[in-house]
């Protein structure tokens, strides 16, 4: 019998995780709070699968079989039979703790309770349950069907068995895992991208090189697909500033303190692509 996955939250990440799991043979229960949100999530999955069919990377039969493996619901009790639950609701520690408290009452013994949080300590979420050993971070990247990485994050009490089962799950979706052994702010990926972006912004602020040249250095010198300043524009200057302050607040490491120009650009509403300009114009 195929394993059952529950995904809680049918937004950008939840729908992507549900899609990849269903195409990988998992029976998926996708839960959101409204039928509208479930409808948006399902439509996004259909659209994405259609693109794979158009590119001849998936047969129409396999697309239909994947869609048939996804059951949607607004009833949280429906996740009770799942072997693995992935939470992908919005990034709020209170909302996630409330949800994990409820999952603790509903889920079967031994289920893996995973969170897709990008920044909240796994340990804080796990502490809302009576089974913190079963709670783990499975940090997927957007767009989930395209991005090969899953960052597995251990909370203080996450068991080895839970970490292994989370790895088995992510690998069954075709992802490559890295393990974050300590539940630090920013995990590994956000620490790396933030440190690089802060140094790029420092170099730019001090007039050492132009934005174009800083990004060209990373692209042609290091083989990065996109430079750190263009990446910051894509992510949003406000989002990056928030992420780096979060790490700074935990570590007091000066390299994570936002350069003044980043703060002033955010004050001015210069947020990157979404506002029409950032380090570059769009
Ligand atoms: N967007 C990204 O690029 C990205 C990348 C990695 C990780 N993450 C993390 O993944 C999580 C989800 O992000 P997203 O971008 O998919 O958010 P999103 O806003 O697209 O979707 C969140 C969904 O959760 C639903 N929801 C809220 N409370 C719920 C509840 N109690 N039960 C069920 N559904 C509920 C909302 O209705 C919404 O559909 C966040 O923790 C985020 O930090 C996001």
Q: Give pLDDT tens digits for 223-242.
A: 999 999 999 999 999 999 99
pTM as predicted: 0.94
- Nearest ligand 1 atom, CA 15: 16
CA distance 47 to 55: 13
Res 267 pLDDT > 80:
yes
Closest CA to ligand 1's atom 5: 141
CA distance 234 to 232: 5
- Nearest ligand 1 atom, CA 37: 39
**Are the C-beta atoms of residues 49 and 67 closer than 8 Å to each other?**
yes
Q: How confident is the model at residue 278 (pLDDT cuts 50, 70, 90)?
A: very high
Counting ligand 1 atoms within 8 A of each CB, the residue from 87, 90, 147 with the most, and so the one to mutate, is 90
Q: What is the pLDDT of residue 3?
A: 87
Counting ligand 1 atoms within 8 A of each CB, the residue from 7, 10, 14, 103 with the most, and so the one to mutate, is 14
Res 1 pLDDT > 60:
no
Q: How confident is the model at residue 153 (pLDDT cuts 50, 70, 90)?
A: very high
CA-based end-to-end distance of the chain: 50
Structure tokens at 189: 């990926």
Res 59 pLDDT > 80:
yes
């Amino acid at each position: 019998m195929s394993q059952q996955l529950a995904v809680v939250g049918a937004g950008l990440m939840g729908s992507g995780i549900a899609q990849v799991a269903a195409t990988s043979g998992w029976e998926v229960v996708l839960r959101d709070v409204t039928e509208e949100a479930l409808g948006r999530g399902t439509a996004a999955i259909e659209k994405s699968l259609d693109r794979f069919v158009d590119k001849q990377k998936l047969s129409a039969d396999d697309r239909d079989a994947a869609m048939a493996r996804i059951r949607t619901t607004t009833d949280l009790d429906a996740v009770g039979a799942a072997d693995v639950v992935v939470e992908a609701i919005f990034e709020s520690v209170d909302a996630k703790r409330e949800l994990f408290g409820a999952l603790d009452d509903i889920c079967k013994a031994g289920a893996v309770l995973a969170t897709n949080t990008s920044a909240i300590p796994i340990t804080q979420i796990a502490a809302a349950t009576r089974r913190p050993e079963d709670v783990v971070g499975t940090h997927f990247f957007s767009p989930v069907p395209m991005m090969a990485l899953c960052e597995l994050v251990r909370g203080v009490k996450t068991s080895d068995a839970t970490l292994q089962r989370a790895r088995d799950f992510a690998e069954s979706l075709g992802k490559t895992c890295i393990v974050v052994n300590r539940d630090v702010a920013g995990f590994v990926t956000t620490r790396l991208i933030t440190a690089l972006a802060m140094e790029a912004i420092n170099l730019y602020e001090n007039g050492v090189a132009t934005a174009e040249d800083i990004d060209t250095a990373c692209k042609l010198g290091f083989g990065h697909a996109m430079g750190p300043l263009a990446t910051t524009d894509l992510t949003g200057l406000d989002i990056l500033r928030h992420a780096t302050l979060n790490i700074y607040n935990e570590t007091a490491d000066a390299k994570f303190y936002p350069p003044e120009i980043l703060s002033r650009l955010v004050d001015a509403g210069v947020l990157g692509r979404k506002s029409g300009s950032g380090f570059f114009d769009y």
